[in-house]
Structure 1
Amino acid sequence: MNSIFVPIHVKIITCNYKMIAMKIIIFGIIGLLFSIGMIAPSFAHTTVNVEQYEIEAGWGVEPPVVGIRNEFMLKIIERGEKEGTFTGVTSAFKDVDVTTMFGGAAKKIEVNSDPRPGYYFSPVIPTKTGTYMIELKGEIRGVPVDIKIPIEDVESTAVLDFPPTSSEGTADVAALKNAISSLQQDVSKLKSGETEVTSDGGAAYDFAIFGLSIAGAAIILAIIALVKRK
């Protein structure tokens, strides 16, 4: 009867062991992807619907950077019955006022038509970092419009600076040191008694070793990338 029971401490050890193994693998994969440039910030325009119209707003150049000429981009379309088809709405701003907002500041802007039907733009040089909004008030072919659309945050020039400043390099080195320290702690736990391999831990052990290999490769690639940037 006793043979069917598994000691509680053995279950806890195995569970902790597998959790550490999973943590190492996740850390390693993320580090590997980051170091080879497969993880990058993603940017998207904001889309809202006003009855049959789809209104999209954003920046012409992303990421938007303070002090650098850019454009507010607007797109107004009407979806077709067939999926994936749409018709650009021309002369959409004939009866619509467009205002750009930042904090308590607001400025009415002139909207220009793009050669593509349904696309519009307005040149601008953002002067502060943070969140901007586009307000539309009026009518589009008889349909009332009164909306505010937040667009991508404006960033500092640091996102485009090259070569990176010494302070940024120091931050990168500190991040790598923290990553290595975290990895060393996990290795220590695997070697310590609190996470020793139990009779059913063979698969988890192989899993952990695989994760350690990925993490090690990721750190090496990250260091190489950092050296190249300098």
Structure 2
Amino acid sequence: MEDKSLSVNGLLILAILIGGAGFSAAYAHTTVSVEQYDIEVGWGIEPPVVGLKNDIVFGISVPGEVEGAKTGVQSAFQNLEATVKFGGLSKELDINADTRAGHYRSPIIPTKTGSMTVNVAGEINGVPVDVDIPIEDVETTAVLDFPPRSSAGDGDIASLKAAMSALQRDLESGTATGQDAGPAYDFAVFGMSLGAAGVVLAVVAMLKKRK
């Protein structure tokens, strides 16, 4: 059973490496047809994760001689442009030809989670093209994290507890070393308490803002 598990893990790692090299399968690609041409668009590595290098990949083909088969169109982007859109922002993509006929890619690092759309416009061998094609949503790194990371709030609360415990020990130590330090000492303790209370309020406000 253990050998089988190692074998499965090895296959998963191999699949990820192959995807990074530019040969990942089209899990969530979208295909639109413009006359005889099929235009397929998606991510090279899926799911796309914010901050990780990826590619937007294209496949442009026509029906092949055999039913169900397709033939890739070479130099399809000679008179085509591709633009990726996110909200009100847009970026014209630099298109690189893949080693496979009819396949193209554009390197990109997604910087925000959410939905993107790719516009392909121009012409293919005299056929006008102007289509918007949605691609898979960009995810946070949480989809890859293991073990799952604890929430930021948990870490802040733990740090706060540690700081308060240290302050309490310091105060108790100061009280134990002197029988009566007088008003000056009492005033200092009062000031430190106010400072600690300020820290607590600041952290609570920060945690509420993050939710």
Query: Shared fold (TM-score greater than 0.5)?
Result: yes
Tell me how far 1:83 sits from its aligned partner. Answer: 1.8
Q: How far apart, CA to CA, are the structure 1 residues paired with 2:99 and 2:114?
A: 30
Say which of 96, 108, 111 aligns to 1:127: 111
Residue in 2 aligned with 1:92? 76
| Aligned alpha-carbon RMSD (Å) | 1.9
1:91-112 alpha-carbon deviations (Å, 9 max, x no partner): 0000011111000000111100
TM-score scaled by structure 2? Answer: 0.58
Partners of 1:87 and 1:43 in 2: CA distance: 20
> Which of 32, 36, 43 is 1:59 aligned to?
43
Distance of 1:114 and 1:82 partners within structure 2:
23
Q: Indicate whether 1:101 and 2:78 are aligned.
A: no
1:162 aligns with 2:183: no
SS in 2 for 1:131: strand
- Alignment of 1:78 with 2:62, yes or no, is yes
- Matching residue of 2:100: 116
Letter in 2 for 1:157: T
Encode CA deviations 1:48-98: one digit per residue, 9 max, x unaligned. 000000000000000000000000000000012432211100000000111
Q: Any idea what SS the aligned residue of 2:142 has?
A: helix
The corresponding residue for 1:49 is 33
Matched, 1:144 2:131: no
Larger radius of gyration: 2
Structure 1, unpaired ranges of 5+: 1-41, 168-230
State the 4+ residue runs in structure 1 displaced beyond 2 angstroms: none
In structure 2, what is the Cα distance between the partners aligned to 1:83 and 1:155?
37
Matched positions, count: 128
Q: How far apart, in 2, do the equivalents of 1:166 and 1:106 lie?
A: 35
Per the normalisation by structure 1, the TM-score is 0.53
Alpha-carbon separation, structure 2, partners of 1:140 and 1:160: 39
Q: Distance in 2 between matches of 1:101 and 1:122?
A: 14
Equivalent-residue separation in structure 2 for 1:81 and 1:164 (angstroms): 50
Deviations 1:18-58 (A, max 9, x none): xxxxxxxxxxxxxxxxxxxxxxxx94100000000000000
Unmatched 5+ stretches in structure 2 = 1-25, 152-211
Identical pairs, percent: 60
Q: Which amino acid aligns with 1:80?
A: G
**SS of aligned partner of 1:132:** strand
**Aligned amino acid, residue 144 of structure 1:** P
Letter in 2 for 1:161: D
